[in-house]
Amino acid sequence: MSAPLSIAFIGTGVMGRSMAGHLQKAGHRLHVYNRTKEKAAALIEAGAQWHESAGAAAAPADVVITMLGFPSDVEASYLGAGGIVERAKPGTLLIDMTTSSPALARKIAEAAAARGQSSLDAPVSGGDLGAKEARLVIMVGGDATAFAGAKPLFEIMGKNIALHGGPGAGQCCKMANQIAVAVGMVAWCEALAYAKKAGLDPTAVHGSISGGAAGSWALTNLAPRALGENYAPGFYVKHILKDMRIALESAEELKLDLPGLATAKKLYDQVATRGWEDCGTQALYRLYTSL
Are both 143 and 41 inside the same structural domain? yes
The answer on 232 and 124 residing in a single domain is: no
Give the number of domains in the chain.
2
Looking at 165, 185, 219, which one is the last position of a domain? 165
**Does residue 1 lie within any of the structural domains?**
no
pLDDT given for residue 1 in this prediction: 45
Are residues 106 and 29 located together in one domain of the fold? yes
Q: Quick one: 128 and 264 in the same domain?
A: no
Mark whether 35 and 142 lie in a shared domain.
Answer: yes
The answer to whether residue 128 is domain-embedded is: yes
Average pLDDT over residues 111-132: 95
* 72 & 135 share domain: yes
CA 156, CA 231: separation in Å to the nearest integer? 29
Averaged pLDDT, 52-61: 98
pLDDT at 144 over 70: yes
- The active-site residue out of 89, 132, 174, 196 is 174
User: Is 197 marked active-site?
Assistant: no
pLDDT in tens, 63-120: 999 999 899 999 999 999 999 999 999 999 999 999 999 999 999 999 999 999 999 9
Residue 43 belongs to domain with CATH number? 3.40.50.720
Q: Is the pLDDT of residue 274 over 70?
A: yes
Among 133, 165, 197, give the residue marking a domain's end: 165
Do the domain assignments include residue 186?
Answer: yes
**What range defines the domain where residue 227 resides?**
172-290
Supply φ then ψ for residue 106, to 5 degrees. -65, -35
The answer to whether residues 159 and 177 belong to one domain is no
CATH number of the domain encompassing residue 202: 1.10.1040.10
Do 43 and 156 belong to one domain?
yes
The verdict on 245 and 130 lying in the same domain is: no
Query: In this structure, are 184 and 153 located in the same domain?
Result: no
- Which of 150, 165, 180 is a domain's end point? 165
pLDDT value, residue 129: 87
High-pLDDT (> 90) share of the chain, %: 95
pTM, full prediction: 0.90
- Identify whether 22 is part of a domain: yes
- Distances, alpha carbon 256 to alpha carbons 1, 136, 141, 240, in Å: 44, 29, 22, 20
C-alpha–C-alpha distance, residues 230 and 259, integer Å? 29
Per-residue pLDDT tens over the stretch 218-241 = 999 999 999 999 999 988 999 999
Kindly state whether residues 159 and 191 are assigned to the same domain: no
265 and 184 in one domain?
yes
Question: Which pairing describes strands 49-50 and 29-33: parallel, antiparallel, or unpaired?
Answer: parallel
pLDDT at 152: 97
Q: What value does the mean pLDDT take over residues 135-160?
A: 97
